[in-house]
Amino acid sequence: MTEPASQRILSQPALADLGEVPADSRWIRSRGPMLHLLDYGPEGRPPLVVVPGITSPAISMDFVVRGLTDLVRPVVLDVRGRGLSDNGDAYDLDTYARDVEAVVRGLRLERPILLGHSMGARVVAATAAAGRVGVRGSVLVDPPMSGPGRGPYPTTLEAFLGQLDQARRGTTADEVAASWPRWPRREQELRARWMGSISRDAIVATHAGFECEDFFAVWPHVPAPTVLIHGGDSPVVTAAGAEEAAKANPEASVVEVPGTGHMVFWDDPAAALATTRDALRALI
């Protein structure tokens, strides 16, 4: 049974967070769902479409993209079923990729760079590999490499749904810190206020996709220039996984951020930002 959109919770304090974000809201319809984006401008710089992870609304990437606006124009997507975007009738990789294409066309973004974290990295790979919109390049940050015949995704579905249930009943930054102790305090607070905006169906279907949709069926077809950034201690992109990725797409750059786990930007914001800036400079 499909969960109604009314089960998603977005409180007044969460909406107030948007008032402190130096971005304009944009809206694009993608074959049904209305999608929300945060556009940081300025329009004169190369566009950067940012696709967050499985339980990360657009505002969760604010602390990252603020450090990029001197190089690019970040446009951050509330992926369908997250944040202010509508629910969807499907949450597979091709559907997500077509949403990104709708954003590129709807905002008339000329040869954007695509950047995604975790689930978003898989979506970026699928979008770039499909080649239905022209892109300048792509940056994949710690994409899940689980899939058919591979080990399971390290975070269980039950763990994600437990965090969602906490948020819907009313969680706190301290409770979030129990799961994500390394995060900056502001990001723990945002997680507490925004996690309830995520669709349960989106989490369930996307997590299933981590194990039935093969990243390595797509990754070799991602055109250069592309950069894969991974956490040095990530259980999602292990050292063996990074080596396999380098061999599967020899034209790609594979870069490690030492001492970080899967949540690369949150674990060491300064090092992750510096690595991302280097990657973007090479693509501009």
Helix 157-169 × helix 200-212 angle, to 10°: 170
Burial class of residue 49, CB neighbours in 10 A (0-12, 13-18, 19+): buried
Separation of alpha carbons 113 and 199, rounded Å: 27
User: Which pLDDT belongs to residue 7?
Assistant: 87
pTM score, whole prediction: 0.97
What's the pLDDT tens digit per position in 261-277? 999 999 999 999 999 99
User: Could you say which DSSP state residue 107 is in?
Assistant: T
**Other Cβ atoms closer than 10 A to 131:** 11
Q: Do 255 and 271 form a contact (C-beta atoms < 8 A)?
A: no
Name the residue among 89, 92, 105, 94 with its Cα closest to residue 29. Answer: 105
Separation of alpha carbons 255 and 183, rounded Å: 22
- In a structure prediction context, what are the per-residue pLDDT tens digits for the chain, which is 284 residues long? 567 666 899 999 999 999 999 999 999 999 999 999 999 999 999 999 999 999 999 999 999 999 999 999 999 999 999 999 999 999 999 999 999 999 999 999 999 999 999 999 999 999 999 999 999 999 999 999 999 999 899 999 999 999 999 999 999 999 999 989 999 999 999 999 999 999 999 999 999 999 999 999 999 999 999 999 999 999 999 999 999 999 999 999 999 999 999 999 999 999 999 999 999 999 99
Alpha helices in 107-238 (DSSP H): 119-130, 157-169, 173-179, 185-194, 200-212, 215-218
